[in-house]
A and B are shown apart, each in its own frame.
Chain A
């Protein structure tokens, strides 16, 4: 009888202690996983004529980084503001992403933070990037001007070299 009581106590301790620890860990994780949505550190509306944009974000969530080894952010891009079809442009610990090579159009971006446990924050407010490249007419005009300046510069140097070397030869002759 005495033995069975002892067994019962041991079983209770063995059974309860882990469950208490598990409950504590779970509460801890829940606390950790109540993530505020990250926010972009750039204006919500942006324009570019080069097709490049730098997206910078941050999170107010201040945690002990020794407890949570990795912060993972997911950056999504979409051609519609509701993100019906969205494309993940980046997933990782960085706090910025430089996007280039965008065609004409309007693009929408949002970011969220994901814990290793799988919990995710809400999405950030959406950033809009309107891409309107310079007109090709302007590009061709500047290309033509640049080409002309270059060719004339080459001409000045080469003709100058030819003339001065001829002058030198005449002097020596």
Chain B
């Protein structure tokens, strides 16, 4: 066991954990009462406005990845790492016009899987589902792990216990409230995150001696301020493309695009992107001061919370605890909801039980949320790697979906062959890069390979897709069957 000195007493940790857990579950159950139908449960009645839309997108993107992985990037890859992480904002900004397009083309759509199935056919759909569910799962695991790591680092609560409690709380309120609960809690969580980050940022800035930090970096970690650190140079576009791939393909973002009102999606995603952009720079910067402050880091994903809590003392540790718990919960709930929607709609209803009634679907959805939580918990129990290595393992697959999605939405000539082989070849070559070169190259190679394949296949394609085919009737919205 790699003992790491805790900042808060375990008693404080338990009290905070219990308080936050009860609050989120209560709010989730309260908002969930609105979810009368399956469409309400999955898509919050397709009536989400600008404030809630922007808040849920921002809060979901400020995940453990931002509060914990951005500092890890800075700690391992230096200044470029910090900037590289903030480039993930381009994912939100570029998805803004896609959200509008998606809502126009698929007014009755439910999942990102619907789009791939209708646009490229069943074989590409199967590959896409495998990629998307695998990615959703690695993200869920990385956040369950982050919860355990965080509570352990801040309050000395055993990793397994902290991880279990966070997963349990999120499973309970997602189970009761669906997307209503997720979006409602996201709104409050996004406010907490923004206020908390400002408090931590101001506190750290007033405490840290810049000159001392710079001198320490020069003497002890010179490569972190070297603009030509090769791994960091490679990581810049890798992270950017990973972020774009995550948002372009994942049902977490598609379900929000379907849930927002017609003209809201584009503005909401743009706002969320601009609000999110400075967060990883603020979170990443503090990691670079850890050496000068004499803080030992046993695992790089703990550096952010450790520095903030150490510098700001007990109050700071409590703020960090609340912010990190909120950012984790806002992402875990979204992921549980979106992945269970994908499995319920695309696998259970479309493949296994096309004639399922609404009640049966609600029940199936509940079992799937619980199953996802239990499976994630089992995989999180042995701490299998750092957040970066776990999450970026899905990078090649995620990167390979960018071009099939983007061209599928705008190019009539984009073909099934290109999409299918783009995803397959991008995933395979990206995985080879992951093991041969490092995790900081895998998404980039996956995206580049997929792009080349999609472009070549499109050049030779004779198909002309009819956009009307994407407007599929759905039993939930039409009262009929689509099978």
Which of A3-11, A28-36, A131-139 lies on the face that meets chain B? A131-139
The interface residues of chain A lying within 8 Å CB-to-CB of B402 are 149, 153
A51, A135, A152, A153: which contacts B94 (Cβ < 8 A)? A153
Look across to chain A and name the residue whose beta carbon is closest to the beta carbon of B298. A96
The interface residues of chain A lying within 8 Å CB-to-CB of B297 are 97-98
A164 beta carbon closer than 8 Å to chain B: yes
Look across to chain A and name the residue whose beta carbon is closest to the beta carbon of B101. A164
Look across to chain B and name the residue whose beta carbon is closest to the beta carbon of A138. B230
The interface residues of chain A lying within 8 Å CB-to-CB of B5 are 92-94
Q: Is the CB of A157 within 8 A of B94?
A: yes
The interface residues of chain A lying within 8 Å CB-to-CB of B240 are 146, 150
B463 smallest CB distance to A (angstroms):
17
A138-161 with Cβ < 8 A to chain B: 138-140, 142-143, 145-150, 152-154, 156-161
Q: Is the CB of A135 within 8 A of B230?
A: yes
B442 smallest CB distance to A (angstroms):
11
A117 beta carbon closer than 8 Å to chain B: no
The interface residues of chain B lying within 8 Å CB-to-CB of A140 are 233
A49 beta carbon closer than 8 Å to chain B: yes
Q: Is the CB of A156 within 8 A of B298?
A: no
A18 beta carbon closer than 8 Å to chain B: no
Q: Is the CB of B410 within 8 A of A164?
A: yes
Q: Is the CB of B228 within 8 A of A136?
A: yes
B231 beta carbon closer than 8 Å to chain A: yes
Inter-chain CA distance A101–B230, complex, in Å, is: 11
B322 beta carbon closer than 8 Å to chain A: no
Look across to chain A and name the residue whose beta carbon is closest to the beta carbon of B406. A156
Inter-chain CA distance A149–B98, complex, in Å, is: 18
A166 beta carbon closer than 8 Å to chain B: no
A77 smallest CB distance to B (angstroms):
9
A17-73 with Cβ < 8 A to chain B: 49-52, 54, 56
Q: Is the CB of B300 within 8 A of A98?
A: yes
Q: Is the CB of B223 within 8 A of A153?
A: no
The interface residues of chain A lying within 8 Å CB-to-CB of B448 are 145-146, 148-149
B409 beta carbon closer than 8 Å to chain A: yes
B408 smallest CB distance to A (angstroms):
10
Q: Is the CB of A146 within 8 A of B238?
A: yes
Q: Known contacts being A50-B76, A101-B223, A157-B406, is A143 close to B296, with CB within 8 Å?
A: no
Q: Known contacts being A103-B222, A153-B94, is A49 close to B300, with CB within 8 Å?
A: no
C-beta contact mask, A109-145 vs B, less than 8 Å → 1, else 0?
0000000000000000000000001111011101101
A93, A96, A146, A154: which contacts B299 (Cβ < 8 A)? A96
Q: Is the CB of B231 within 8 A of A163?
A: no
Inter-chain CA distance A161–B99, complex, in Å, is: 11
**Interface size bracket, A side:** 35 or more
B78 beta carbon closer than 8 Å to chain A: yes
Inter-chain CA distance A150–B220, complex, in Å, is: 34
Q: Is the CB of A97 within 8 A of B76?
A: no
Q: Is the CB of B234 within 8 A of A101?
A: no
Inter-chain CA distance A145–B233, complex, in Å, is: 12
A-B contact count (CB 8 A): 155
Look across to chain B and name the residue whose beta carbon is closest to the beta carbon of A55. B298
B227 smallest CB distance to A (angstroms):
11
Inter-chain CA distance A139–B299, complex, in Å, is: 26
The interface residues of chain B lying within 8 Å CB-to-CB of A51 are 223, 229, 231
A95 beta carbon closer than 8 Å to chain B: yes
Q: Is the CB of B229 within 8 A of A133?
A: yes
C-beta contact mask, B1-28 vs A, less than 8 Å → 1, else 0?
1111100000000000000000000000
Inter-chain CA distance A63–B240, complex, in Å, is: 49
Q: Is the CB of A142 within 8 A of B237?
A: yes
Q: Known contacts being A51-B229, A94-B3, A150-B241, is A101 close to B411, with CB within 8 Å?
A: no
The interface residues of chain A lying within 8 Å CB-to-CB of B237 are 142-143, 145-147, 149-150
A78 smallest CB distance to B (angstroms):
13
Q: Known contacts being A51-B223, A146-B448, A150-B241, is A97 close to B298, with CB within 8 Å?
A: yes
A87, A90, A153: which contacts B296 (Cβ < 8 A)? A90
Inter-chain CA distance A147–B441, complex, in Å, is: 13
Look across to chain B and name the residue whose beta carbon is closest to the beta carbon of A134. B230
A170 beta carbon closer than 8 Å to chain B: no
B191-244 with Cβ < 8 A to chain A: 217, 220-224, 226, 228-231, 233-234, 236-238, 240-241, 244
The interface residues of chain B lying within 8 Å CB-to-CB of A96 are 2-4, 298-299
Inter-chain CA distance A161–B409, complex, in Å, is: 10
B217, B438, B447: which contacts A149 (Cβ < 8 A)? B447
The interface residues of chain B lying within 8 Å CB-to-CB of A97 are 296-298
B269 beta carbon closer than 8 Å to chain A: no
B2, B231, B403: which contacts A134 (Cβ < 8 A)? B231
Q: Is the CB of A153 within 8 A of B244?
A: yes
B41 beta carbon closer than 8 Å to chain A: no
A79 beta carbon closer than 8 Å to chain B: no
Inter-chain CA distance A109–B130, complex, in Å, is: 44
List residues of A whose CB falls within 8 A of some B CB.
Answer: 49-52, 54, 56, 87, 89-90, 92-98, 100-103, 133-136, 138-140, 142-143, 145-150, 152-154, 156-161, 163-164
List residues of B whose CB falls within 8 A of some A CB.
Answer: 1-5, 75-78, 90, 94, 97-98, 101, 217, 220-224, 226, 228-231, 233-234, 236-238, 240-241, 244, 296-300, 402-403, 406-407, 409-411, 437-438, 440-441, 444-445, 447-448, 451
Per CB-CB distance, the 9 closest pairs between chain A and chain B, nearest first, are A146-B237, A101-B221, A160-B410, A96-B2, A101-B224, A139-B230, A96-B298, A134-B230, A139-B233
